[in-house]
Amino acid sequence: MDLRLRPFQQRDLDMLRRFATEPGLIGLDWSGFRDAEAPARRFAEDGYLSTVDGRDARLVVETPQETSAAGFVSWRVGPVSEHHWEIGIALLPECRGQGIGWRAQAMLCDYLFHHTPAQRIQAGTHPENAAEQKALEKAGFRLEGVIRAVEFRAGQWRDGWLYSRLRDDPSPLAGAG
């Protein structure tokens, strides 16, 4: 599959507006309505490419069939060290379940290990998010454990599952051409 990660363009901002205002479109991470104009302000500031001050940087996930976005991947400085990244992903519903999610996260890891000296990339997910658990494992991540009561979501504090991939862990895309 010929996927591409690329910087955001003006035309991609509609997708972010939708994620901010359509309940549940983003999946289990829906945490209520967000300012629909915030993505445009952020895009004007740094094109979604800076991680200073706790910001998450983002790249669009694009498939060869569609020049519009299938979703986006994100990364921010991890909670323990400036040499760690924490990544995330959200695909539009019609783009899920086709092998895009695991590949996009594997590509993001390869990109971050190539362009930054990071030693560790971590990702958290929900106990009921089987798709993301499998996608992370296929992207070369290993399950580290359960983080108890780590996030407030859908009316209660809930556990999270923490995964990581280290610089020396093999990339599932190695030799993929």
Ligand X SMILES: CC(C)(COP(=O)(O)OP(=O)(O)OC[C@H]1O[C@@H](n2cnc3c(N)ncnc32)[C@H](O)[C@@H]1OP(=O)(O)O)[C@@H](O)C(=O)NCCC(=O)NCCS
Subset of 8-27 contacting ligand X (CB under 6 A): 26-27
Interacting span for ligand X (CB under 6 A) from 15-23, 38-46, 75-83, 93-101 = 93-101
- For the chain, what is the total number of helices (H) and then of strands (E)? 4, 7
Smallest separation, CB 4 to ligand X (Å):
15
Q: Does 28 bind ligand X (CB under 6 A)?
A: yes
Q: Does 31 bind ligand X (CB under 6 A)?
A: no
Q: Does 136 bind ligand X (CB under 6 A)?
A: no
Please state, in angstroms and rounded to a whole number, the distance separating the CA atoms of residues 31 and 93.
Answer: 17
Q: Does 118 bind ligand X (CB under 6 A)?
A: no
Q: Does 102 bind ligand X (CB under 6 A)?
A: yes
Query: What is the phi/psi pair of residue 131, to 5°?
Result: -65, -45
Interacting span for ligand X (CB under 6 A) from 5-13, 33-41, 98-106, 165-173 = 98-106
Q: Does 138 bind ligand X (CB under 6 A)?
A: yes
Instruction: Tell me which residue has its CB nearest to ligand X.
Output: 101
Please state, in angstroms and rounded to a whole number, the distance separating the CA atoms of residues 95 and 79.
Answer: 30
Q: Does 99 bind ligand X (CB under 6 A)?
A: yes
Interacting span for ligand X (CB under 6 A) from 5-13, 111-119, 122-130, 141-149 = 122-130
DSSP one-letter string for 113-168: HHHS--SEEEEEE-TT-HHHHHHHHHTT-EEEEEEEEEEEETTEEEEEEEEEEETT
Exposed/middle/buried for 55, CB within 10 Å: 0-12, 13-18, 19+? Answer: middle
Where do we find the tokens 């995330």?
Answer: 88
Binding site for ligand X (CB under 6 A): 26-29, 71, 89-91, 96-102, 125, 129-132, 134-135, 138
